[in-house]
Amino acid sequence: MPRLPTLMLPAVVDADWLLAHLDQVRVIDTRRTSDYLAGHVPGACSFPLDALLVERTDRSALERLARASQRALASRGIRPDEHVVLVDDADGSAALGALMCELAGMTHVTVLQGGVTRWSTGGHTVEHFPAMPDHSDPADWRDTPPRLDFLATIDDVVRVSTDQESVLLDCRS
């Protein structure tokens, strides 16, 4: 699979961009398995996030989440150096999946804007069967450390909330 130069990797792409680059990326569908089987971007692998979600955000919980994400990605043959595009049904799970990929140690992570809905309403075909993996063994993640430095833990949030020189920005909608 040809690779895109790192500097050209957008954080969010539209359906036409994905169609033009399908042979250069791995597509990961973060929806429930039943939704994935009802129709997905051609070649996408199913990666429902339910089993990986955590309730705590202290450092040890995030380390466990990163390692569990690495195992789940490896079991699907996804290598840490691949460029992945995460797809959802516009519910935000692709963004959460992107965060999990980055936490696991990936650096080439993109989200499809509008998800499968935007893909199919744009006239692009969907598949209704599981993608056949192009690997025979799990990917090797042994030399890929988790990236825990970009995500705040609950302890970080508490510390910043009482620090007079820091600003805590709540971006929930």
Structural domains of the chain, with CATH: 6-147 (3.40.250.10)
What whole-number distance in Å separates Cα of residue 69 and Cα of residue 166?
Answer: 31
pLDDT tens digits for range 42-66: 999 999 998 788 888 888 999 999 9
Q: How many CA atoms lie within 13 Å of 7's alpha carbon, on the beta-carbon side?
A: 0
Among the residues of the chain, which ranges form H helices?
15-21, 33-38, 59-75, 93-104, 115-121, 154-162
User: Which one-letter amino acid corresponds to residue 152?
Assistant: A
Structure tokens belonging to residue 173: 């909608």
pLDDT tens digits for range 5-46: 554 678 999 999 999 999 999 999 999 999 999 999 999 999
